[in-house]
């Protein structure tokens, strides 16, 4: 029953997109409002159909309906309820269905929000979104069909990959990443629409900026959660390994970030349009590339699924979109903006933005070439090679430092050229904060050049950012006699995007410093203790209290308990475990971490010898790791502030404000 | 360049699709002239044995540069897998015997293949990834500089003169003028 | 509509090779561990059996040798065990020497396993996996077939079947 219903829903979704695509193109070319309305309604229809299909699949998973192909593949009667829910995205076919659902959601919201506005670009944008929808619906209906019928239905299933059952983050990380990934379709469609229509006006640019911020925010959260999951679940003590799939999520984030900055230049100076739109297109294309890398089996990765027929189909679609985008940009770029005046002088904000774009482009290219090079090398020489952490760390360090530097310098410089002396004066406070930060770093025991440079430049950038945040509030408070708090609130309300952006910058700086310090000064020791025995690792005293077996329906866990104290003070018990899943041979470890503001104590169980009553455990002391996640939170807060929809100003309010530049702002 | 790729691609696809080892050899009539052994470590090692602190640091450094054979991309230093631990122990032994990083890496590469190195050495085709990004950056920077000189030859715009820099008025004026397009 | 040729060329130059490289990855297993040592002389070693007698590899020349790295905690090793026992019975009589090498495991675990499932050939102890590393072993099970002159003729990664072993051993006899 469900296979049939599900399949029907998917086919309806495919039909909706196909009709939406055709009517969208007709609406664009013929400027027909009737066709436009059809296209919009098809977007709602696609949303309905894909939601129905997803709902049916979740129902099948929760009721253990093993007559459905996908449920037979990843379902199980012995897994907890939350695992049954998240099995939807645990394997290939289900995750494509999730993609279609999220796409439907974004499509529907986009269609609704553009109703009656932007008549020139909206039809093209809707057509483009439907085009992407057709592809994914086709995948779910055909190659990656999760609704196949299994007859006779088996009594039970193997359950999803045990690594995915280990932690609750499995619930949040993939949906966040999907909201980011799939959400990039909308800015892509908007950018393509601008090119198709040959018109990129201020209103569309503003809408495009906002539509980029939302998936960008989710992508940021998704990436950070992925790092957190890697840290808490995989047991190696790290959070980023430049795994091909990690890189796949990072590259679109880089181009999207470059876009957010480049768009500011585009908005103010009406320049760099071609480059900025190319960034939008590149972001979406990189999400396609990323999905291809995860699903084709071509890349060796923690995430990769085995090779399936989906690979060539995906590559085909990716190829069409890549070539199509190049043609589109080449055809339209000259019509978009003939350069009117030269870009600004060397010590201006424009230059900082351009430098920022260059660094981000270099970064994206580095990650791309590093990830793809093993394939290239094998194609040419037939030999297999690896490109891993040593390469990426080495190449990204100078780029990262450059970006942090620009984060400090950029906000301080004004648009246009600045007089030398004034520029230097603005840098006084940031310079002081840089020195203070450097001092703190040295006091904290950091000796590596890279780490100290990161700390010093982050201090510099932090000083500049705080200055930029406080000064306007102070100026306003002084001019209007308001309290500083009120002034700050008012300033925040009036310039949300800018201050949201500054908050995001602060988050990035926190992460930069935490990452540099944690990576450079983590200490790893392996200890073997007999039951009752103790040892000293750094400031911590560890006592092995014994191991016990824990039986759950889907796994048997060996839990080793360690009493922990620091400088005499009792800190409790940490219990890392080894999980034996019924369906897998080797045990999978789950570490336990005690997080502190200054450092984390990380225990990863290696093995337990029941005969000798001993346990071997890796003990890692990792400084500042908590600040990574905190920085992620700050970035999210900043994104929310920046993306929060403002009350639309009416013309009457705008006019007096514009006229009152020298007067008191209302 | 694309044509070369097409040729290579065609050759690859046309060649055996079998993954894994080549078929077993037919028994030779006589043993071959010289069957090379995997490169043994040179005796004596190139360097004198280091002290404990240096040894530990060098072991970590070498371990960070070698890949755990059963993991997807983790280094021997990071991985918990059995084979990674065994390699780590062996690296420690070799370091304490006085072997250099290059010798130890060559030892593992000889037995596991080039992919056990976590980053390709700076030679031959590999220069593409070691120099490529920097080259791109330079090209981009030069291009920017050329554009910055002004496509139409017009001078770069100067910030309009306002209240003296550093005063509250200056900040307010600057703030208000920049606020123009934002916050909507 | 006028095409900007510079942009078009630059774009295609980036995009087409990328697609080509990605496509070239199909049909190839990215996890494949290469068989570096096939054709090379097997590294020499001296290990002791669980009973205490030493075995030196270079003394084993003159007959084909089957070297099987295994452990009791490895599921595929248990699957291939009967195949190895059968091959040892058939080919051992024809002169092939069979040895197991214990990988990251203890004699205390191995002895009961072998007592239960049979052991027609000795198991060697490799305490810190030094010999395993010398042979480029990444995991278990891995099986090496040596030519009478000491060369590694074939390396199997994963469980072997009787048929696999036959196919390699027959031509050597």
Which pLDDT tens digit goes with each residue over A523-577?
898 899 998 889 998 889 999 998 898 887 777 888 999 999 998 888 889 999 9
Nearest to C12 by CA among A128, B135, A329: A329
Of A301, A497, A604, the CB nearest to B72: A301
Burial pattern A510-522, b for ≥16 Cβ within 10 A else e, equals bbbbbbbbbbebb
Is B113 domain-assigned?
yes
**CB contacts, 8 Å: A479 with chain B:** 168, 172
**CB contacts, 8 Å: B183 with chain A:** 493-498, 646
Q: How far is A618 from chain B (nearest CA, A)?
A: 9
Looking at residue B153, its pLDDT comes to 39
CB A317 within 8 A of CB A288: yes
Read off the CATH number of the domain in which C100 is found: 3.40.30.10
CB C66 within 8 A of CB C98: yes
Is B32 domain-assigned?
no
A partners (3+ CB pairs within 8 A) are B, C
Is C148 domain-assigned?
yes
Long-range CB pairs of A624-627, under 8 A, 24+ apart, other chains included: A624/A513, A624/A514, A624/A517, A624/A518, A624/A598, A624/A599, A625/A231, A625/A239, A625/A514, A625/A518, A625/A595, A625/A599, A625/A600, A626/A595, A626/A596, A626/A597, A626/A600, A627/A510, A627/A511, A627/A513, A627/A514, A627/A597
- Nearest chain B residue (CA) to A490: B183
Best probe of the A interface among C30, C73, C136, by most A CBs < 10 A, is: C30
CB B87 within 8 A of CB B67: no
C153 near B CB under 8 A:
yes
**CB contacts, 8 Å: A281 with chain C:** none
Cα–Cα distance for residue pair A186/A208, rounded to 1 Å: 8
Distances (CA, A) of A622 to A241, A268, A615: 16, 44, 22
Of B37, B89, B115, the CB nearest to C40: B37
Domain residues for C96? 71-172
Looking at residue A92, its pLDDT comes to 80
Of A236, A343, A344, the CB nearest to B74: A236
Q: How far is A298 from chain C (nearest CA, A)?
A: 5
What ipTM was predicted for this assembly? 0.85
In chain C, how many domains are there? 1
Distances (CA, A) of A611 to A547, A559, A614, C108: 12, 16, 8, 10
Q: For tokens 């645990």, what's the residue? A: A90
Cα–Cα distance for residue pair C80/C42, rounded to 1 Å: 23
**CB contacts, 8 Å: A340 with chain B:** 152, 154
- Nearest chain A residue (CA) to C17: A376
pLDDT less than 50: residues of chain B: 1-34, 151-166, 180-184
Of B6, B27, B83, the CB nearest to C139: B83
pLDDT band at C28 (very low <50, low <70, confident <90, very high): low
C58 near B CB under 8 A:
no
Q: How far is B178 from chain A (nearest CA, A)?
A: 9
B partners (3+ CB pairs within 8 A) are A, C
Best probe of the A interface among B156, B166, B174, B181, by most A CBs < 10 A, is: B156
Cα–Cα distance for residue pair A554/A544, rounded to 1 Å: 27
Looking at residue C30, its pLDDT comes to 58
Between chains, do A479 and B152 touch, taking CB under 8 Å as contact? no
Per-10-residue mean pLDDT of chain A, 666 residues long, equals: 90 94 92 91 95 93 88 85 85 88 95 89 94 93 86 82 73 87 95 90 87 94 92 89 92 96 83 87 94 76 61 90 93 74 68 90 95 90 89 94 92 72 77 92 87 94 89 79 78 83 94 94 90 90 90 83 89 88 71 91 89 89 94 94 70 40 37
**CB contacts, 8 Å: C39 with chain B:** 25, 35
Read off the CATH number of the domain in which B83 is found: 1.10.8.640
Prediction pTM value: 0.87
C40 near B CB under 8 A:
yes
B110 near C CB under 8 A:
yes
- Nearest chain A residue (CA) to B182: A495
Q: How far is B29 from chain A (nearest CA, A)?
A: 30
Is B172 domain-assigned?
no
**CB contacts, 8 Å: B5 with chain C:** 16-17, 20-21
Between chains, do A319 and C19 touch, taking CB under 8 Å as contact? yes
Question: Cβ neighbours of residue C8 under 8 Å, at least 6 residues apart?
Answer: A326, A327, A330
Cα–Cα distance for residue pair C33/B20, rounded to 1 Å: 8
Looking at residue B24, its pLDDT comes to 35
Distances (CA, A) of B20 to A302, A473, A493, B2, C130: 21, 67, 63, 28, 25
CB C47 within 8 A of CB C55: yes
Of A348, A395, A476, the CB nearest to B172: A476
A274 near C CB under 8 A:
yes
A380 near C CB under 8 A:
no
Question: Cβ neighbours of residue A163 under 8 Å, at least 6 residues apart?
Answer: A233, A234, A588
Q: Please enumerate residues of C whose Cβ is less than 8 A from a Cβ of A.
A: 1-5, 7-8, 11-12, 15-16, 18-26, 28, 30-32, 34, 73-76, 108
CA C168 to chain centre: 13
Cα–Cα distance for residue pair A624/A513, rounded to 1 Å: 9
B113 near C CB under 8 A:
yes
- Nearest chain C residue (CA) to B41: C134
C149 near B CB under 8 A:
yes
**CB contacts, 8 Å: C165 with chain B:** none
Is C86 domain-assigned?
yes
Cα–Cα distance for residue pair C126/C134, rounded to 1 Å: 11
Of B125, B132, B152, the CB nearest to A341: B152
- Any idea what DSSP says for residue B67? B
The helix (run of H) or strand (run of E) holding residue A551 is strand A540-551
CB A521 within 8 A of CB A460: no
Of B24, B38, B40, the CB nearest to C154: B24
Between chains, do A422 and B80 touch, taking CB under 8 Å as contact? no
In chain B, how many domains are there? 1
Of C21, C145, C149, the CB nearest to B35: C149
Between chains, do C20 and B13 touch, taking CB under 8 Å as contact? no
**CB contacts, 8 Å: A498 with chain B:** 178, 182-183
- Nearest chain C residue (CA) to A292: C22
Cα–Cα distance for residue pair A49/A62, rounded to 1 Å: 20
Which pLDDT tens digit goes with each residue over C74-132?
888 888 999 999 999 999 889 899 999 999 888 888 999 999 988 899 999 998 889 99
Between chains, do C4 and A333 touch, taking CB under 8 Å as contact? yes
Residues facing A604 on adjacent strands: A618
Q: How far is B167 from chain A (nearest CA, A)?
A: 9
Cα–Cα distance for residue pair A242/A258, rounded to 1 Å: 20
A341 near B CB under 8 A:
yes
Of A268, A386, A495, the CB nearest to B179: A495
Q: How far is B8 from chain C (nearest CA, A)?
A: 9
Looking at residue B184, its pLDDT comes to 36
Which pLDDT tens digit goes with each residue over B61-90?
999 999 998 887 899 999 888 888 889 999
Is C135 domain-assigned?
yes
Best probe of the B interface among A243, A245, A341, A578, by most B CBs < 10 A, is: A341
Cα–Cα distance for residue pair A362/A339, rounded to 1 Å: 24
**CB contacts, 8 Å: B110 with chain C:** 36
Q: For tokens 């590393």, what's the residue? A: C133
Between chains, do B35 and C139 touch, taking CB under 8 Å as contact? no
How do the domains of chain A map onto residue ranges?
A: 1-160, 521-626
Give the three-class secondary structure for C33.
coil
B82 near C CB under 8 A:
yes
């Amino acid at each position: 029953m469900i296979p049939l219903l599900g399949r029907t829903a998917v086919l309806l979704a495919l039909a909706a997109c196909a009709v939406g695509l055709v009517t969208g193109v007709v609406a664009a070319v013929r400027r027909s409002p009737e066709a436009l309305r059809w296209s919009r309604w098809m977007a709602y229809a696609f949303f309905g159909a894909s939601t129905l299909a997803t709902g049916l699949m979740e129902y099948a998973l929760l009721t253990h309906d093993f007559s459905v192909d996908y449920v037979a593949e990843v379902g199980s009667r012995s897994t907890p309820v939350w695992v049954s829910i998240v099995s939807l995205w645990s394997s290939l076919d289900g995750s494509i269905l999730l993609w279609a659902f999220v796409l439907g959601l974004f499509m529907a919201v986009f269609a609704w929000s553009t109703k009656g506005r932007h008549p020139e670009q909206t039809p093209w944008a809707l057509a483009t979104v439907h085009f992407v929808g057709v592809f994914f619906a086709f995948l779910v209906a055909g190659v990656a069909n999760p609704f196949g019928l299994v007859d006779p239905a088996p009594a039970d299933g193997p359950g999803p990959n045990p690594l995915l059952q280990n932690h609750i983050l499995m619930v949040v990380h993939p949906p966040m990443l999907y909201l980011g990934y799939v959400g990039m379709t909308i800015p892509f469609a908007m950018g393509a629409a601008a090119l198709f229509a040959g018109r990129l006006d201020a209103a569309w640019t503003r809408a495009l900026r906002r539509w980029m911020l939302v998936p960008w925010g989710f992508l940021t959260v998704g990436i950070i959660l992925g790092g957190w999951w890697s840290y808490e679940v995989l047991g190696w003590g790290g959070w980023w390994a430049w795994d091909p799939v990690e890189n796949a999520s990072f590259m679109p984030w880089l181009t999207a970030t470059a876009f957010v900055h480049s768009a500011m230049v585009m908005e103010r100076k009406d320049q760099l349009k071609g480059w900025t739109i190319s960034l939008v297109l590149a972001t979406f294309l990189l999400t396609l590339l990323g999905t291809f890398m995860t699903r084709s089996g071509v890349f060796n990765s923690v995430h990769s699924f085995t090779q399936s027929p989906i690979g060539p189909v995906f590559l085909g679609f990716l190829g069409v979109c890549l070539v199509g985008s190049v043609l589109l940009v080449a055809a339209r770029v000259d019509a978009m903006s003939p350069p009117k005046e030269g870009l600004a002088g060397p010590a201006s904000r424009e230059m900082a933005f351009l430098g920022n774009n260059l660094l981000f482009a270099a970064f994206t290219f580095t990650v791309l070439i590093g990830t793809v090079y093993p394939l290239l090398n094998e194609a040419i020489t037939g030999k297999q090679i690896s490109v891993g952490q040593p390469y990426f760390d080495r190449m990204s360090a100078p780029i990262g430092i450059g970006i942090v530097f620009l984060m400090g310098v950029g906000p301080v410089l004004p648009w246009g050229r600045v007089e030398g002396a004034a520029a230097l004066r603005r840098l006084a406070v940031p310079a002081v904060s840089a020195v203070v930060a450097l001092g703190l770093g040295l006091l904290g025991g950091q000796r590596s050049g890279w780490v100290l440079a990161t700390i010093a430049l982050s201090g510099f950038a932090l000083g500049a950012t705080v200055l930029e945040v406080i000064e306007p509030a102070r100026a306003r408070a002084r001019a209007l006699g308001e309290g500083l708090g009120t002034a700050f609130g008012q300033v925040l309300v009036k310039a949300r995007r800018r201050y949201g952006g500054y908050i995001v910058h602060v988050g990035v700086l926190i992460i930069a410093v935490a990452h540099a310090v944690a990576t450079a000064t983590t200490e790893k020791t392996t200890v073997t203790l007999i039951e009752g025995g103790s040892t000293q690792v750094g400031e911590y005293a560890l006592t092995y209290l014994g191991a016990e077996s824990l039986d759950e329906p889907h796994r048997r866990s060996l839990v080793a308990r360690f009493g922990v104290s620091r400088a005499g003070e009792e800190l409790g018990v940490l219990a890392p475990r080894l999980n034996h899943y019924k369906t897998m041979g080797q045990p999978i470890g789950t570490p336990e971490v005690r997080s502190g503001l200054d450092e984390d104590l990380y225990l990863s169980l290696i093995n337990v010898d029941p005969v000798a009553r001993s346990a071997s455990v890796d003990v890692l002391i990792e400084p500042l790791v908590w600040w990574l996640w905190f920085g992620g939170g700050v970035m999210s807060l900043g994104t929310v502030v920046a993306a929060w929809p403002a009350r639309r100003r009416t013309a009457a309010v705008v006019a007096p404000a514009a006229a009152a530049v020298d007067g008191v702002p209302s | 360049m694309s044509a070369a790729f097409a040729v290579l691609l065609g050759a690859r696809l046309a060649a055996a699709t079998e993954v894994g080892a080549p078929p077993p050899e037919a028994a030779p009539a006589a043993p071959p002239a010289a069957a090379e052994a995997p490169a043994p470590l040179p005796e004596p090692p190139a360097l004198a044995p280091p002290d404990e602190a240096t040894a530990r640091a060098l072991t970590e450094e070498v371990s960070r540069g070698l890949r755990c054979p059963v993991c997807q991309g983790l280094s021997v230093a990071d991985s918990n897998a059995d084979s990674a631990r065994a390699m780590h122990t062996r690296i420690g032994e070799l370091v304490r015997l006085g072997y250099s990083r290059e010798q130890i890496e060559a030892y593992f590469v000889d037995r596991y293949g080039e992919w056990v190195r976590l980053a390709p050495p700076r030679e031959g085709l590999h220069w593409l990834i070691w120099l490529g990004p920097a080259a791109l950056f330079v090209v981009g920077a030069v291009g920017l500089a050329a554009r910055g000189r002004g496509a139409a030859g017009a001078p770069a715009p100067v910030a309009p003169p306002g209240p003296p820099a550093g005063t509250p008025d200056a900040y307010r004026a600057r703030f208000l003028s920049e606020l123009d397009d934002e916050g909507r | 509509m006028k095409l900007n040729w510079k942009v078009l060329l630059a774009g295609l130059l980036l995009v087409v090779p990328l697609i080509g490289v990605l496509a070239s990855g199909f049909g190839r297993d990215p996890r494949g561990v290469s068989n570096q040592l096939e054709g090379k002389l097997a590294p020499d070693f001296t290990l002791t059996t669980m009973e205490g007698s030493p075995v030196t590899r270079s003394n084993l020349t003159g007959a084909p040798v089957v070297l099987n790295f295994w452990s009791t905690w490895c599921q595929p090793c248990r699957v291939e065990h009967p195949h190895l026992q059968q091959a040892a019975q058939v080919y051992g009589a024809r002169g092939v020497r069979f040895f197991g090498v214990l990988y990251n495991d203890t004699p205390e675990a191995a002895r009961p396993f072998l007592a239960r499932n049979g052991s027609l050939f000795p198991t060697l102890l490799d305490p810190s996996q030094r010999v395993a590393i010398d042979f480029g072993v990444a995991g278990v099970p891995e099986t090496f077939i040596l030519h009478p002159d000491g060369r590694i003729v074939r390396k199997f990664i994963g469980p072997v079947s009787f048929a696999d072993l036959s196919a390699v051993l027959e031509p050597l006899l």
